[in-house]
């Protein structure tokens, strides 16, 4: 039956995805399955049964005439993704998630490095204290800019890897066998994704403990705790981005194809808002850290922005649903 289903998917791949076409496809599949089982019960071999069933199927022109589809309607054809394209897209999303997450972690490490170096040189307390502070600032800022520059390169590289899959943002369909394979892969990945998500949340929640523990000892250790906070929270964010990208790839392939134009527009709006809000949050984080030296609490901007982003998404969906009703 798998051969018959693949054949049927390929035959219908060139037809518009209308309710009439889908209903006809299901009826044909049911009839072909009954015929296949009947032939098998008669003692026919696998190849004989499949060949007879396919030969009785007819051709695509007859099917179009039966459904009343004119040649002009073929411009509505939805492209079918191949197995190679789907797996290449998942691999690209995985790679992009790794480089993007690593870039975010390096940015956090850069800030932690700058704070750590400044604190170490400040703690020297020698007669040349001004020179020590100057050297510490230069080394700290240099390390920060180097790591941020590397991170930006990683962001650009990850974006370039996904650039060739822009066509997936449009409407597409999957063959039945590929759909079932991706569903099994997503189900197998579900446990890994949940563990990574829980681990990332725990790391972000527990990271301020370093600051509190350091402050309990003395102010200097509190600054060291801030560096540890950034490094630990950065690992949590890496887990969110890396495993979230993989989960997002499965979601887009399995669910995004069924969204209508309005839902796709909503998804594009949400991505556009995220592309603006998160860089602004990062800029606010760096500004309050450098100018006001509030590395101990300004990290809270990221969970706050996450909550606000989720709230915006919910409100936006409610408004759109209200307008459409």
pLDDT of residue 189: 92
pLDDT of residue 134: 67
CA-to-CA distance for 136 and 117, rounded, in angstroms? 6
CA-to-CA distance for 222 and 146, rounded, in angstroms? 25
CA-to-CA distance for 42 and 46, rounded, in angstroms? 11
Over 80: is that where the pLDDT of 183 sits? yes
pLDDT confidence of 99, banded at 50, 70, 90? Answer: very high
135-154 pLDDT, tens per residue?
Answer: 767 787 888 889 888 988 88
Surface-to-core class of residue 278, CB atoms within 10 Å of its CB (0-12 exposed, 13-18 middle, 19+ buried): middle
CA-to-CA distance for 263 and 257, rounded, in angstroms? 11
The larger pLDDT score, comparing residue 12 to residue 288, is at 288
CA-to-CA distance for 101 and 234, rounded, in angstroms? 8
Rg for the chain (alpha carbons), in Å?
Answer: 28
* pTM of the model as a whole: 0.64
Please choose, from the candidates 207, 277, 271, 283, the residue with its C-alpha nearest in 3D space to the C-alpha of residue 238: 207
Tell how far CA 282 is from the center of its chain.
20
Count CA atoms within 13 Å of residue 301 on its CB side: 19
pLDDT of residue 265: 59
pLDDT of residue 75: 44
3 state DSSP class of 175: coil
226-258 pLDDT, tens per residue?
Answer: 888 888 988 988 998 899 889 888 888 887 655
State the DSSP H helix or E strand holding residue 252, giving kind and residue range, or none if neither.
Answer: helix 219-254
Residue written as token pair 């480089």 = 99
189-214 pLDDT, tens per residue?
Answer: 999 999 998 998 898 888 888 888 88
pLDDT of residue 198: 92
Q: Which of 49-53, 191-195, 286-290 has the lowest mean pLDDT?
A: 286-290
Average pLDDT over residues 300-313: 66
> CB of 236 within 8 A of CB of 204?
yes
């Amino acid at each position: 039956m798998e051969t018959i289903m693949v054949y049927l998917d390929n035959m219908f791949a060139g037809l518009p995805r209308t309710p009439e076409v889908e209903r006809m496809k299901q009826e044909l599949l049911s009839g072909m399955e009954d015929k296949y089982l009947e032939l098998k019960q008669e003692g026919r071999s696998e190849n004989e049964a499949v060949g007879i069933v396919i030969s009785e199927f007819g051709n695509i022109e007859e099917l179009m005439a039966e459904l009343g589809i004119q040649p002009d309607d073929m411009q509505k054809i939805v492209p079918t993704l191949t197995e190679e394209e789907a797996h290449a897209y998942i691999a690209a999303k995985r790679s992009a998630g790794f480089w993007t997450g690593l870039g975010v972690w390096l940015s956090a490490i850069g800030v932690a490095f700058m704070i750590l170096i400044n604190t170490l040189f400040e703690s020297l307390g020698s007669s040349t204290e001004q020179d020590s502070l100057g050297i510490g600032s230069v080394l700290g800022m240099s390390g920060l800019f180097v790591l941020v520059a590397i991170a930006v390169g990683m962001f650009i590289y990850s974006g370039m890897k996904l650039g060739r899959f822009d066509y997936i943002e449009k409407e597409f369909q999957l063959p039945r066998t590929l759909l079932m394979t991706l569903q099994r892969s997503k189900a197998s990945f579900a446990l890994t994704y949940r563990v990574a998500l829980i681990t990332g949340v725990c790391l972000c929640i527990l990271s301020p403990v370093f600051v509190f523990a350091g402050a309990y000892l003395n102010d200097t250790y509190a600054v060291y705790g801030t560096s540890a906070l950034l490094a630990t929270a950065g690992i949590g964010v890496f887990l969110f981005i890396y495993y979230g990208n993989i989960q997002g790839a499965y979601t887009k392939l399995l669910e995004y194809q069924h969204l209508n134009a309005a839902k796709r527009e909503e998804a594009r709006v949400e991505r556009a808002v995220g592309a603006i809000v998160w860089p602004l949050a990062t800029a606010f984080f760096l500004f309050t850290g450098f100018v006001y030296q509030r590395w101990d609490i300004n990290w809270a901007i990221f969970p706050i922005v996450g909550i606000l982003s989720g709230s915006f998404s919910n409100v936006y969906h409610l408004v759109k649903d209200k307008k459409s009703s």
